[in-house]
Amino acid sequence: MNAILSPTADPRESLRDIVLDLPGRFSIARWAPIPLRLIVGIGFMEHGFAKLSKGPENFAAILHAVGVPAPHLMAWLTILTELFGGLAVLLGAFVSLVSLPMAALLFVAIFTVHLPYGFSSIKLMSVTAGRAQFGPPGYECDLLYLACLAALVLGGSGPLAIDSLLRKWRTNGLSFLEQSH
């Protein structure tokens, strides 16, 4: 019988064992990358769609104002990176590869826009007519995105990911080739 379910087991130790060994006990840890992929993928795509819908030329004007070289080119590269990088992360496809330009965008955003406003992404300025008015966001969200990307690169994109399908295909393909010789 399992020691945790034993009637003679100390309830405090049993509870501690359950809490500390939960991922190992139920194999849920392998699913942890899914919410990371969802929030990073959808978040990046949403930012790309917002820039596209407001007009890339408007985003290029903002880039020009903050001193980014070749603002029109960089506007399009940013939009495409956000859209296709976000989709790749969402699908778990080539996550290690697409994370590099995505991380570069985040670092540029931190150092060209968000750094002067401090860490916090929520700056409550006032409440008027029952509505909150917020100031410019700090770099907190950029760091959260960077941490999510790092976790996905270091820990893998998890189940239901194209990367894991490709890895299985490569492994099975190599073993098939080895058997044929």
Q: Are 140 and 120 in contact (CB under 8 A)?
A: yes
| 3: in domain | no
Q: What is the pLDDT of residue 180?
A: 53
Q: What is the band of 56 on the pLDDT scale with cuts at 50, 70, 90?
A: very high
| 114: in domain | yes
| 16: in domain | no
Q: What is the pLDDT of residue 143?
A: 97
Which DSSP helix (H) or strand (E) runs through 128?
strand 124-128
For 81-108, how does the pLDDT look when each residue is reduced to its tens digit (9 = 90+)?
999 999 999 999 999 999 999 999 999 9
Q: What is the extent of the structural domain holding 63?
A: 31-124+132-176
Residue 18 CB partners (closer than 8 Å, separation 6+):
4, 25
| 42: in domain | yes
Q: Are 128 and 160 in contact (CB under 8 A)?
A: no
Q: What is the pLDDT of residue 24?
A: 62
| 24: in domain | no
Domain count, the chain: 1
With b meaning 16 or more CB within 10 Å and e meaning fewer, what string describes 117-128? Answer: eeeebeeeeeee
Provide the angle, in degrees to the nearest 10, between the axes of the packed helices 56-65 and 33-54. Answer: 90
| 168: in domain | yes
| 67: in domain | yes
| 22: in domain | no
For 147-180, how does the pLDDT look when each residue is reduced to its tens digit (9 = 90+)?
999 999 999 999 899 988 888 888 887 555 555 5
Q: What is the pLDDT of residue 104?
A: 97
Q: What is the pLDDT of residue 1?
A: 42
